[in-house]
């Protein structure tokens, strides 16, 4: 099983079916907060919906197309982060993440995104990592900026969010840029 310890309080663990109940409870307790930027909340209304999500994650991992982890903060599931997609032919990983409302403000997601970027570029030997976020989602956009990702562009009407489209800003970092930044 994949477990990546970031520090004494923070780890990433490959998502498992036994995480379903805790993950569903976190989703439920953060539902209103998360709904502003995540389009899947209205379709996640019972434990079985979360279990279906986990099964999809496990299939993506088995097919070597994605890797989703639970974020463990002081032993509790704080959210989800991982590679929503790994494009092996273009050597690019696409990071996605969300954090429960009660876990905000500890710098968790910046550390998680940094660890996932490092793992993709060094361990998986990929060339590029991308993070996309809605234009008006300033908290999510701050993470790649903090990590030195370059803003590469804007995808208009990239995502349907319940009753309207949102544009996404694309951020990317190349392996040589990450190495250079790590040395500084």
* Residue-wise DSSP of 118-178: HIIIIIS--SEEEEEEETT-HHHHHHHHHTTPEEEEEEEEEEE-SSSEEEEEEEEEEHHHH
Residue 136: CA count within 13 A, CB half-sphere: 9
- 112, 10 contact by CB (below 8 A): yes
* Residue-wise DSSP of 32-63: HHHHTT-TTGGG--SHHHHHHHHHHHHHHHHT
- 148, 173 contact by CB (below 8 A): yes
- 58, 74 contact by CB (below 8 A): no
Q: Domains in the chain, ordered, with CATH?
A: 3-183 (3.40.630.30)
pLDDT digits (tens, 9 = 90+) for 114-155: 999 999 999 999 999 999 999 999 999 999 999 999 999 999
pLDDT digits (tens, 9 = 90+) for 43-70: 999 999 999 999 999 999 999 999 999 9
Q: What is the mean pLDDT of the chain?
A: 96
Alpha-carbon distances, residue 1 vs 67, 68, 74, 113 (angstroms): 12, 12, 19, 20
- 114, 150 contact by CB (below 8 A): no
The Cα 96–Cα 94 span in angstroms is: 7
Question: pTM for the complete prediction?
Answer: 0.95
**The tokens of 102 are what?**
């009660």
End-to-end Cα separation, the chain, in angstroms = 33
Percent of all residues in the chain with a pLDDT value above 90, rounded to a whole number: 95
pLDDT digits (tens, 9 = 90+) for 144-177: 999 999 999 999 999 999 999 999 999 999 999 9
């Amino acid at each position: 099983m994949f477990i990546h310890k970031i520090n004494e309080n923070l780890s990433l663990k490959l998502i498992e079916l036994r995480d379903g109940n805790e993950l569903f409870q976190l989703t439920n307790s953060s539902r209103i907060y998360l709904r502003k930027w995540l389009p899947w909340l209205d379709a996640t209304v019972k434990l079985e919906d979360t279990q279906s999500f986990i099964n999809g994650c496990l299939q993506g991992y088995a097919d070597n197309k994605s890797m989703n982890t639970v974020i463990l903060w002081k032993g509790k599931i704080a959210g989800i982060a991982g590679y929503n997609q790994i494009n092996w032919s273009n050597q690019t990983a696409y990071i996605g993440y969300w954090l429960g409302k009660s876990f905000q403000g500890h710098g968790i997601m910046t550390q998680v995104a940094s660890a996932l970027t490092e793992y993709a570029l060094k361990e998986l030997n990929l060339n590029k990592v991308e993070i996309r976020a809605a234009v008006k989602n300033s908290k999510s956009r701050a993470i790649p900026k903090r990590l030195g990702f370059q803003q590469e562009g804007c995808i208009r009407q990239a995502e349907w969010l319940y009753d309207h489209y949102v544009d996404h800003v694309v951020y990317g970092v190349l392996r040589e840029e990450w190495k250079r930044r790590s040395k500084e």
